[in-house]
Chain A
């Protein structure tokens, strides 16, 4: 555990030996926040998986039957049920972080974080509503 790679410090003579601590493998279980972070990171696998699925769907756009077969297959339905909560979790955690990434100044004051996150949620809602409307109205054609 110890090593001899000691360097002189301002505090006095060169430390004889320093103690190096290793990060425990289960570090992400030590704090709820770390666990939430790990879950957020893992959800991206499902978000990515769902994106692959969408690409596969897109590849069948010119063949309506194949498209519907894939969409209706139990595997695809299962995947969507699993991916949905993970995608929502990922989106929510990400949107909550947006005020840190996007800082808008109005003179000496920052635009409050809830407005920035709120705008993202509003956008999300609008797009979702638009899609639902499109699916409902467009669905009658098919």
Chain B
């Protein structure tokens, strides 16, 4: 879209883009680009136009253009956004400021280092740990629609990390496990086929886990998929508290977590 059938319209718009080129050894700066304005263009289209027609050195991540892959998250006028869903028409004629996602280390231009986030998902074990292992010949692990409904919302996460850039707790403590990883942990803890809640508890309920969260709630506000990580964290707190009380009532029989399935 960026290079084909560009309208002959003369309207233009300015983008003020964060630049950081580590090879040059220069401190970060902002560069202003003027792009054609089209009311069906999103910020990502404008960036692609800059890359194709003005400055091939501008670097950023993107892939699907339709809010599914979670690659193109950036700060647009200070708000974490998927740039593929942020329409120019919502900002026109004001200049748009584009920066890399807040709080993450910047590798180059608009590209952040997400290694730490990927590591956290590994620590939380955001995958299905079957409650009972059975051979393939025995068929599927069946689930009722009601069992699916309990966690389905949390499966919508596309790992775009917008929630981290909206989270002042993560801003102050980069080791905080953070909204998406906890929500994904909760997604599996609430899955009737999963038996990994105990394995996840050590990380989820650690000092860097759910108790770091002070319920600012902005993670859920910026989530493009309505995952509601803030809700997931509070639910996990309730579960953890219940388990803690249960550990007093049933000494020796302490079950670390569980999640009400």
A/B touching: CB–CB < 8 A: yes
Chain A residues packing against B (C-beta within 8 Å): 1-2, 7, 9, 11, 15-21, 23, 27-28, 30-31, 33-34, 37, 41, 97, 100-103, 105, 107-110
CB neighbours of B235 from chain A (8 A): 100-101, 103
Chain B residues packing against A (C-beta within 8 Å): 20, 22-23, 25, 27-28, 78, 102-103, 105-108, 111, 113, 115, 145-146, 148-150, 168, 171-172, 214-218, 220-221, 228, 230-231, 234-235, 237-238
A-B contact pairs, 17 of them (CB 8 A): A9-B107, A15-B22, A15-B113, A18-B105, A19-B22, A19-B105, A21-B103, A33-B218, A34-B168, A37-B218, A100-B228, A100-B234, A101-B234, A101-B235, A101-B238, A108-B145, A108-B146
Contact, CB under 8 Å: A30 / B78? yes
CB neighbours of B111 from chain A (8 A): 11
CB neighbours of A34 from chain B (8 A): 168, 216, 218
CB neighbours of A100 from chain B (8 A): 217, 220, 228, 230-231, 234-235
CB neighbours of B20 from chain A (8 A): 19
Q: Which residue of A lies closest to B115 (CB)?
A: A7
Q: Which residue of A lies closest to B218 (CB)?
A: A33
CB neighbours of B228 from chain A (8 A): 100
Contact, CB under 8 Å: B168 / A19? no
Q: Specify which of B102, B150, B168, B214 lies most central, judged by the most chain A CB atoms within 10 Å of its CB.
A: B168
CB neighbours of A23 from chain B (8 A): 103, 168, 171-172
